[in-house]
Amino acid sequence: MKKIYPLAFIVCILFLVFYVIFAYTGIIFKAETLEEPIGSISGWCERVSSGIFREPMNAFSNIAFMLSGLFIFKTLNSDKSNNENKFYGFNKISVLYGSAVIFLGPGSMLMHGTHTEWGGWADNLSMIMFIIFPWLYNLKEMGRWSENRFIYSYFFIVIAYALARWFFGGRLGIGLDLFGLSIGLWIISEYLFRFWSPKARWISGFVGFFVAFIFGITPIEIFSDLGSYWWVSLFWLPAIFSSNKSRKVRKYNPWFFLGTVSFLFAYAIWLQGQPYSPSWFTDSWCNPDSFIQPHAFWHYITAFSTWSFFLFFRTEKSQENN
């Protein structure tokens, strides 16, 4: 498995090379939507360019994810194997996490770079491939799943999402934002990982309402329109599968908190860095022709978050008497 790190580096370089080739020949733009014509201001502040990247800074900034993933693989490459922690050395789980981080780069770059429907699909898919990992991994630990069951479950969700997103659009034809839901499932499952008890299992779903509130969805809004917010019932999914207390413990300070705070800070920038949502922030920072683009900073900061969460998972240790 020592070849994984150089192989990942080569794959990243090849992606960039082929992107440039297909962009210069115009092949990559043949399915461009033209909803945001050349010279207009994109939905993420940056002016649409006629160059190889339709949003140059917003596209190029995705290299941060590729670098984060490569740093993860470089770290794993230097590790000795550790049976207590799957985030030391190369194994199915650590390679999957690092690969998901790397793919965030090409996925988002294809969206910001090409302005195509399939680019948007790749962007959404890459986000799902990352965000479902943590909560599924937590369920693996508390459900006593084998590694193979975890891997099969992961790719089942990825493939099902990829098909549904392609044919039915972002809400999958059922009004479900799987990315947003997965943030809630991660926090809920992390709560159970830390505080598991039979009682905690069944009250854990209410943690999801707190997460929804943080992201601007109040309980009043939810219960006044349960038809649209039917997916809150899935907040109890971790409770169903977390049948046992985790045999491992993690250290939350500093890396989990740093990863969470940096993501929330980046999310605040993401919300405000849109030209059609007037605010002090957009008035001050949304300059279509600047090299400093708010959405690019969303990429830089969330790339740091992926690295922080990797270091957080590396604090995992087996606990005795469990």
Average pLDDT, the chain: 93
Average pLDDT for residues 307-314, to the nearest whole number?
98
Please indicate, yes or no, if residue 70 is contained in any of the structural domains.
Answer: no
Please indicate, yes or no, if residue 207 is contained in any of the structural domains.
Answer: yes
Q: Give this prediction's pTM.
A: 0.94
Task: Report pLDDT digits (tens) over 58-109.
Answer: 999 999 999 999 999 999 999 987 778 999 999 999 999 999 999 999 999 9
> Residue 33: which pLDDT band, with cuts at 50, 70 and 90?
confident
The lowest-confidence range among 117-121, 137-141, 211-215, 290-294 is 290-294
Domain with 151, as residue range(s), is 92-318
Average pLDDT for residues 119-135, to the nearest whole number?
98
**Per-residue confidence (pLDDT) for residue 283, from 0 to 100:** 64
Instruction: Report the DSSP beta bridge partners of residue 208.
Output: none
pLDDT higher than 50, residue 116: yes
Please indicate, yes or no, if residue 82 is contained in any of the structural domains.
Answer: no
Q: Which residues have a Cβ under 8 Å from the Cβ of 12 and sit 6 or more positions away?
A: 66, 70, 102, 105
Q: With beta carbons less than 8 A apart as the criterion, state whether 64 and 58 touch.
A: no
Please indicate, yes or no, if residue 266 is contained in any of the structural domains.
Answer: yes
Q: Which residues have a Cβ under 8 Å from the Cβ of 311 and sit 6 or more positions away?
A: 255
- Comparing 313 with 294, the larger pLDDT belongs to 313
Tokens of 11: 């794959």
**Per-residue confidence (pLDDT) for residue 273, from 0 to 100:** 66
> Residue 319: which pLDDT band, with cuts at 50, 70 and 90?
confident
* Start-to-end C-alpha separation, the chain: 32
Average pLDDT for residues 33-59, to the nearest whole number?
92
**Per-residue confidence (pLDDT) for residue 280, from 0 to 100:** 60
Distance CA 185, CA 187 (A): 6
Please indicate, yes or no, if residue 23 is contained in any of the structural domains.
Answer: no
Please indicate, yes or no, if residue 239 is contained in any of the structural domains.
Answer: yes
- Comparing 318 with 275, the larger pLDDT belongs to 318
Number of structural domains in the chain? 1
Which residue has tokens 């985790």? 246
**Per-residue confidence (pLDDT) for residue 84, from 0 to 100:** 83
pLDDT higher than 50, residue 322: no
**Per-residue confidence (pLDDT) for residue 321, from 0 to 100:** 43
> Residue 115 half-sphere exposure, CB side, CA atoms within 13 Å?
26
Please indicate, yes or no, if residue 260 is contained in any of the structural domains.
Answer: yes
Please indicate, yes or no, if residue 197 is contained in any of the structural domains.
Answer: yes
Task: Report pLDDT digits (tens) over 254-300.
Answer: 999 999 999 999 998 888 767 766 666 666 678 899 898 999 999 99
